Structures are given as C-alpha cells and as structure tokens.
Structure 1
Amino acid sequence: MIALKVYRLLPSPARRRLLRLLPAHRRIGLVQTLSRPRGGDTVHPLGARVAVTDGGVRTRAEIVATATPLEQWHRNLTAVTTALHAAGIEYHCIRNDDHLRSTVAVLDDQRPAVQRLIRSAPALSGADVRVVQVRPRRDQPDAAPTEVIQVCFPVTDARAGVVLGAQFACEIEFWSRHGDMVRAPRRNGVVDEAPARAQPVRVAAALMSHFVPEADDHTYGTRRDLAVRAPDRVGFPIDAVYTWVDGSDPQWLKRKSLALGAPDGPVHAVAANSSRYHNRDELRYSLRSLHSFAPWLRRIFLITDSQLPSWLDPSHPMITVISHAELFADLGGRSSYNSHAIESRLHRIDGLAEHFLYLNDDVFLGRPLLPNHFFHANGIAKFFPSPAQFGLGEAKPEDPPVKAAGKNNRRHIQRQFGVTITQKMKHTPFALRRSIMQQIEGMLPDEVTATARHRFRHHGDLSIPSSLHQYWAFLTAQAVPGDIEYEYADLGHPSTPARLAELLARRHRDVFCLNDTDSDPRSFAEQERMLADFLPRYLPFPAPFELPDDVVAERRKVGAGELWRRSYRPVPDARRGTPVDAPTMPNNMLNTVTDFKAVLGSREQPGRRRSDPSGERHDI
C-alpha cells in the first residue's frame, strides 16, 4: 500500500503529468502498477493453517476451497452448542444485535466450567477464542463493560486474502440470577430479563438472525419465551434478476450487425458502442457476491440473447436462464440490444417473486448484507438517489440515452403526480416489485410497449427499473429512500486501479459498481487484466452454480451462442402453449458435471444439515 499512498500524496498536476507520459489507453496499467498492493501472491495448499489478521488481531486461519459467511455462522454456533451439550451445561440461543454473529447464553455460575470447556472440548479444537469487552445493558449506563467469549474457526482462501473469522463468531455471554429471574448482561434482540425456569424448544435458525434465510433448516435450542419472530424480519421471498450479453460471440455479433442495418430509428453512438456489450466475466463474480453476501435470495433469473456463460451450470436449481425469444415472444421473439427494452419486461418473468433485486453484471455486493438493506419487512422497497442529475427540458435525439430516458420518466411523473424529478439513481441493485411495474405498464401501455420495441436505446425510451419505478413507488407510498455505502468506478478512468486497491484493502462498501460507459477498445486488454487481478482476490470462493475449471476451459472454445444452441430444446410455455428457448446442459458436458458434483458430494450445502444436538430442558 506504500505505492498507493505515495501516488495519492502527489498533487493533482503531478499525477496528470505522470499519466500523460503514456497514451490514454495505457494509463490504467500505469496506475494499476503504482497502486497494486504488495504480497498476496503466495498460493497455500488446502488444509494449511496460515497467519492472518482478523479484526486487527493476529491469528491463524485454515486454507479452504469454498466458504461463505453463512456457513461459518452455522459452524461456529454449532461447535459451541455441541460442546455445551456434551458437557451438560445448560444454555439457550438468543438473537444477537449483530445479525452476522450468534449468541449463546449461560448462567454466570457456569463461567468457570465454560472456561475449562473452551480449552478441552473436542468440538472446539482449533477454534480461535477471544475474551472481548462489550457495553453493558442500556439500563445500566454506569456499569463496567462486561466480558463475552467469542468463538470462531477462521478460514481463508489460498492467497490468504479473505478471512472469514470473528465477524461471524459465536459469542458466549453470562446471565446473572436474581431470585426467580435471570438477567442479560448486555442488550440483545429480544429481552433484558426473563424467568429462571423456562420450557426448552428447538427453533429455526432464521429466528436467530436476519441474515439466515427462511428456507434454512438448521435448528437450535432456546427457551419457548424467546422463540419469537422480530417484526422487522423480512419473511417474504426475494429473487434476483440479471441481464447479460457476451459481445464477442460471433453469432450475436452477426445478429447485431443485421439489426443495425435495419434500425427502428436513429441510433445514438453510445447506444451501440462495443463497451456496452463487452464481457469480462463480471457476471461470474457478481453472482459470487450474491451467493456469499446475500444467502437469503431465493432464485436468480438470468436474461440472455440465446447465450450461456461458459462457467455457469444452468441446471442448478437456483438458476433460471431466460432468452429474449421468451421475453419478447408477444413482439416476435426477436433479439434486443436495448437494456431499457429488456428491463421493461422484467415483471413478465414467469415465477418471479413479487419482491426482487435487479442487477447489471457490473454491480457487486461488497460485504454481507441483510434483506432490510433493500426492503422493509412490510414490503416497502428502498431506493438510493444519486446526486447526479439528468438535466432539464424534453428528451432530444442527441441526448445520451440515459439522460433522455430520465427526462421521459420525469414527463410522466409530472403528468401523474404533479411533481418534477431531477435526480438519477445510484448504480446499485434496484429493489423492485412486480406489482408496481405492472401498474406502470397498465397506466402507460403505449409508452412501455414502444420502449420494448426499440431494439437499440432510443430517445423515446423509459428507464423503468432504474428510475421510473422508484419515483412511482415513492409517490404511491410503496417505496422510501434508503442509505447504502456505495462506490462507483468507471473502468476507463485512470484513477480506478487505485480505488480498487482501496476496496480490496478495506472492504468497506455495501455495493460497488465497475462500469464501462464508453471506453477506447484499445484499453479493453488493460481493463481485463485489471479486473482479472481484482475480482478473484475480492471474491475468491466459487459459487455452487459454477462449473469446474476443466469443463469451463472446453466450453470457452465453443462460444456463448453455440453453447446455447447445443443446449436448446423446445419447451412448451404454459402461458402461450408455444415452444420457447430453454437451456439444458449439453449432453457431452452433463456427465462431467455430474461426476464433479459426485466428487464434491460430501461437501454439505448451507441449510441442509441439522445442528445443535441439545433438546433437553434448560434452566434459563
């Protein structure tokens, strides 16, 4: 990080002079060289234990091939409850104020027994154990800080760049007895004190943390009076939707060229430039971020123009791939090169949840998030206004398509609600509701259909999920502004490598966007090298819907369009009774994938095993 600090200490004129030494398309490489952090290139073998820094504390972590925060949350809590049960120490689990950690409560007179257990229990062998000071209960502001014991099993990737440790620890806290009552030593998510005698029950893990999905079938022991559902827990299903294209695919390029030869109207230069369709495998890592940081998502829908990513297993139960032929079936089933048009049809996806996140493949979650970041528990969506504005006046053909669509949105908001909007939205996951998009189409049928018919971005388009939906929902009391820690980086800007180095070092953003608006094609190679260095370091653990590397290598030789063609089979669409494109695994790849899954079959998936053996009566 020394080079990064030195680069940032340079005055702006000196930075600019430094960058001017190279052609524009080489400047990114220079800044990346200056800002790339040292170290982290040693690849450690699986199972090794290496020195890492976790939460400012030096400890040792195990090298693993795959891991997620949710898996570690369960592993830590299960180990503690298993050890307590084996030792005959009564306990109950209770919701932690920090939903990324779990809490186990034990009576204070059992503290010596717990301390001995921590050192000797087989279930806790190899655990990182810390005694930490925490603030006392809120009704005791003058009390001294209380101690809790944090237990975790730190793991890391082969380069020891990502550590999953104390952030997901199980915390053992000690409750004091006061007559026939017991009292919590600090604030928790349920109660300050409770009767000493209580009926033990086993409850779903989802009651212990908002981070745990509803479908998770782990159970843990607690008291019946603590087995309560929080009013702010999001209990409805949430899906995710992506749009994706591989702009280097020969079949797709041929279709695009033919479409440009017969456009629906004037095509703005930005609407058809190669930057809009360039594929750098961002989708792979964006999906990794969802798998790791949003385990509460139910399903992921991927909209493509009859293409398949080489690394994606479309047979995975969480993944549904939809072609333009299906999405635009009522308009002739033709390909679209207009994201506004594709987005105008999202609410027509069969089986999509009422509440869903819409993401472009250049948007990534940066750390574990709760559903509450995007939706309130009563169903109201959140949106994140940007300080950027789209200007005054009516949309004109020469306007950049994004600004033109924003102006069109404003015109309809003015007509419907009598207010004037000026702000864009941050480039984050958009929290959407199908019913609101249906309302918009019902009120503006001609405009929505016209947008869907434009095969390239058009100055008459609406941008529904990225702007119109948010304001429409807000003005009908169905959405409210929210806050999110966010980073936006333009891949073509020479400062981007330095910003990525900071992201990698601090991991301090909820969401980040790595956008490419209109880059010089000569800089694509440098941008690809930059992302190929950054993304695997930030998100090193593969998701279960990724294919093994040897299969991916073979599939890359084929191309995204040919992969789709080989996996195509007509499937009746129940809504129309006509065949539509539906992806299946190519026959020559199916056995390889099946064998790969058999090899990893012993690896348990999150939410598929039972935890905490105790079901006996508790005294607290």
Structure 2
Amino acid sequence: MTEEKIDIVVLWVDGSNPEFIREKQAVSGRVSDWNQEIDGEQRYRDYGIFNYWFRMIEKHATWVNNVYLITNGQKPDWLNLEHPKLRWITHKEFMPEEYLPTYNSAAIELNLHRIEGLSENYLYFNDDMYLIKDSHPSDFYKNGQPKLLAVYDAIVPWSPFTNTYLNNVELIYRHFPNKKALKSSPWKFFNYRYGSLVLKNLLLLPWGPTGYVNQHLPVPMKKSTLSHLWDIESETLDRTSRNKIRDYGVDVNQYICSHWQIESNQFYPMSKNFGETIGLNQVNKLDRIFEDKHKKLLYVNDDSDFKEENLIHFKQILNEYYPKKSAYEK
C-alpha cells in the first residue's frame, strides 16, 4: 500500500516589525500591552531562531511532502524560497476576504483546509514547536488516522484561554453527548501509552462533557475533518474567523479537529511520552529532553516574564545540536 503524502504547516509572524504593530493596533484599537494574557507581545514574538525549526525538519522529517509556511506576507530574510518542498503562503491566498486582515491564530488555523494543494493529512506546527528526533509517518498516522492523546480532563478556569477550551467542548458535545467512542473502543481510552494519565479517564468516567488533556504539541490533522466541521458548524467557525484579534469568550480553535477524531473514533492512541512542553525559563531541561530517546516533539512556551538570558541559552543549545545550515536557508 502506498503511504499517503503528509505535509507540514507552520505559522510564523515577526511581531516586532513596526508595520505589523501599526496595522494590528489600527485593527484592534489597542496598544500592544492592553492585556498580556490575551494579546500580549509574547503572542507574536519572534525569537530569531526560526531557521533552527527548518534544520530540524530537514534532518528529522525527510519523508515530508511539502512544508507550508503561513504568514501575513512577512518572510524571514534568510529563507530560501527556491527550496522544492517549501510553499510560502500568505493569509490572503487562502482566507476569505471578509476575515482579513487577521491577527487571530485561531481564525488562521480554522481555514487551513482552504490552502490549494494541501495534503489530506498534515502536521500542524506553531513556530515554537519542534521536531527533535528522526521521525516516520507512522509516528503520526496509522491506517490514515491520526495518533492522538485521548485523555479527558476537568476544565479548570486558570486563565482566559479556558473559555476557548469550554467553547471547543460545547461544540463537540453537541454532536457526541454520550462518549460513544469510549464505550465502543475502551482500549483506545484505557491505553498503556497514556501512563498514569489513564487515571483521569477512569475518574471522569461517570461524567458527561469534560475537557481534554492538551500537551500543546504539533498535531496530526485531516483536511477533510476541518472541512466537515465547516459544513456542520459553519456559524461557530465563521464567528471565530471574523474575530481579527483573539476573543477567548467566543472563539474555538483547531483542537476541535482532534476532539472530533477522538469522539468519532477515528484515531489511534499516542504515547504521552512522545513530546514535552516547557517554558522558556526552563531551558536547563533541554539537554535531558534532547537525550531522551522517547521524546520526538518539543514545545517551548514563551513566558510573560521573558528574560533575554534564557533565549541566549536556548540559541546556544540549538546551535550545538543543529549547527549546519539547512537547504531551506540561503
């Protein structure tokens, strides 16, 4: 059987660009620090290390079909646009005009299925998510279905972003109110790959709608699932897409695709040890993570208490592991 093509999609923006700042403030009517949690500069900050992301993809995902770099029209100065696998796509090339300009990543994510030529199966990355070990298509898909972490979680209002989690769950449970997938395929939910997280599924078994454990890692997606969600929930997805700036009160985001795969029983279990999430102020953990043979994915979250010395340390570690320029660089 011929393996299906798998593309990679990554979003990038340089939030320090003066023109970007001007345009964004004109749309939002807000200064950049109006609310650090919802729309602070860390949402748009460019570390200046995006070239290492491409070095990792070149080294660890030789099987990738195409890499789609999605931006508002910006592009890194060092980027080699002649690379045969690179597709540089701007928002206006695939998003309906009424949604533009947009500074809302959720809106961009929910319209990725409109990208011309994008493969049915694609991995979705943010620019602070990294592939740190040699990988294979089978790490992400089995029999054409994505590998996911099907672990339920209580929704705790720890930040404004919790509202988006709740919106996602409300959408999913309009269509799957009874956790039918768990009942028909319990082995997918009580699976050894989840380790101790299985206890969450056990404890939440008596309850109806609940949230999901989210590791904030690159996620395997299906274009047809996103398209189907537009067919059945167009009003909800359109509302998010029209929000030029994040609105956690009403937005949903791309997690609904993974939730849909889980509740429609179109997935396979993913190991909880497949990746790790750390904050930029935890870069001292990176050597251990890079040496861990089980870890293939890494997410380095920007911290609101950003410290330049942590970024310098991060760059040093990346250059130690990936010193060689990739063909994606000029």
TM-score by length of 2: 0.83
Deviation at 1:527? 2.8
- Counterpart-to-counterpart distance in 2, 1:475 and 1:386: 11
CA contact (8 A) 2:152 2:211 kept: no
Instruction: Provide closer, same or farther for how the CA distance between residues 460 and 302 of structure 1 changes in structure 2, counting only shifts above 3 A.
Output: same
Instruction: Show the counterpart of 1:338.
Output: 104
Instruction: Show the counterpart of 1:404.
Output: 163
Greater gyration radius: 1
1:512 aligns with 2:293: no
Deviation at 1:401? 4.5
CA contact (8 A) 1:282 1:362 kept: no
Instruction: Show the counterpart of 2:124.
Output: 358
Instruction: Show the counterpart of 1:501.
Output: 287
Code of the residue aligned with 1:372 in structure 2: it is S
User: Which stretches in structure 2 are left out of the alignment for 5+ residues?
Assistant: 179-208
Judging by fraction of residues, say which structure has more helix.
Answer: 2
- Counterpart-to-counterpart distance in 2, 1:502 and 1:481: 25
Cα deviation digits, residues 173-204 of structure 1 (max 9, x gap): xxxxxxxxxxxxxxxxxxxxxxxxxxxxxxxx
RMSD of aligned Cα (Å): 2.2
Identity across aligned pairs (percent)?
28
Instruction: Show the counterpart of 1:453.
Output: 242
Matches within 5 A, 1:66-105: none
Instruction: Show the counterpart of 1:469.
Output: 257
Instruction: Show the counterpart of 1:481.
Output: 269
- Counterpart-to-counterpart distance in 1, 2:7 and 2:65: 5
Deviation at 1:262? 7.0
Instruction: Show the counterpart of 1:439.
Output: 228
CA contact (8 A) 2:94 2:116 kept: no
Deviation at 1:247? 1.0
1:295 aligns with 2:84: no
Deviation at 1:474? 2.0
Code of the residue aligned with 1:478 in structure 2: it is Q
Deviation at 1:386? 6.5
Q: 3-state DSSP class of the match of 1:544?
A: coil
Question: Which has the bigger relative contact order, CA under 8 A and spacing at least 6?
Answer: 2
Code of the residue aligned with 1:351 in structure 2: it is G
- Counterpart-to-counterpart distance in 1, 2:103 and 2:262: 30
Instruction: Provide closer, same or farther for how the CA distance between residues 416 and 449 of structure 1 changes in structure 2, counting only shifts above 3 A.
Output: same
CA contact (8 A) 1:390 1:407 kept: yes
Instruction: Show the counterpart of 1:526.
Output: 309
Cα deviation digits, residues 531-568 of structure 1 (max 9, x gap): 22111112223221111xxxxxxxxxxxxxxxxxxxxx
- Counterpart-to-counterpart distance in 1, 2:241 and 2:160: 14
- Counterpart-to-counterpart distance in 2, 1:373 and 1:330: 36
Q: 3-state DSSP class of the match of 2:62?
A: coil
- Counterpart-to-counterpart distance in 2, 1:290 and 1:436: 25
Cα deviation digits, residues 192-229 of structure 1 (max 9, x gap): xxxxxxxxxxxxxxxxxxxxxxxxxxxxxxxxxxxxx6
- Counterpart-to-counterpart distance in 2, 1:293 and 1:250: 35
Q: 3-state DSSP class of the match of 1:408?
A: helix
1:391 aligns with 2:134: no
Code of the residue aligned with 2:251 in structure 1: it is D
TM-score by length of 1: 0.45
- Counterpart-to-counterpart distance in 1, 2:151 and 2:26: 37
CA contact (8 A) 1:488 1:515 kept: yes
- Counterpart-to-counterpart distance in 1, 2:279 and 2:221: 25
Instruction: Show the counterpart of 2:72.
Output: 305
1:255 aligns with 2:43: no
Deviation at 1:388? 6.3
Q: 3-state DSSP class of the match of 2:9?
A: strand
Instruction: Provide closer, same or farther for how the CA distance between residues 431 and 505 of structure 1 changes in structure 2, counting only shifts above 3 A.
Output: closer
Which residue of 137, 149, 166 corresponds with 1:371?
137
Instruction: Show the counterpart of 2:182.
Output: none
Deviation at 1:272? 1.4
Instruction: Provide closer, same or farther for how the CA distance between residues 339 and 275 of structure 1 changes in structure 2, counting only shifts above 3 A.
Output: same
Instruction: Provide closer, same or farther for how the CA distance between residues 540 and 319 of structure 1 changes in structure 2, counting only shifts above 3 A.
Output: same
Code of the residue aligned with 1:461 in structure 2: it is D
Judging by fraction of residues, say which structure has more strand.
Answer: 1
- Counterpart-to-counterpart distance in 2, 1:470 and 1:312: 31
CA contact (8 A) 1:401 1:457 kept: no
Q: 3-state DSSP class of the match of 1:303?
A: strand
- Counterpart-to-counterpart distance in 2, 1:417 and 1:380: 19
User: Which stretches in structure 1 are left out of the alignment for 5+ residues?
Assistant: 1-228, 393-398, 548-620
CA contact (8 A) 1:354 1:434 kept: yes
Code of the residue aligned with 1:519 in structure 2: it is S
Matches within 5 A, 1:207-246: 235-246=3-14
Instruction: Show the counterpart of 2:183.
Output: none
- Counterpart-to-counterpart distance in 2, 1:450 and 1:488: 30
Deviation at 1:259? 1.8
Cα deviation digits, residues 143-192 of structure 1 (max 9, x gap): xxxxxxxxxxxxxxxxxxxxxxxxxxxxxxxxxxxxxxxxxxxxxxxxxx
- Counterpart-to-counterpart distance in 1, 2:73 and 2:151: 33
- Counterpart-to-counterpart distance in 2, 1:336 and 1:390: 28
Deviation at 1:507? 5.8
Matches within 5 A, 1:153-192: none
Cα deviation digits, residues 44-81 of structure 1 (max 9, x gap): xxxxxxxxxxxxxxxxxxxxxxxxxxxxxxxxxxxxxx
- Counterpart-to-counterpart distance in 2, 1:469 and 1:329: 20
- Counterpart-to-counterpart distance in 2, 1:510 and 1:403: 27
Instruction: Provide closer, same or farther for how the CA distance between residues 243 and 336 of structure 1 changes in structure 2, counting only shifts above 3 A.
Output: same
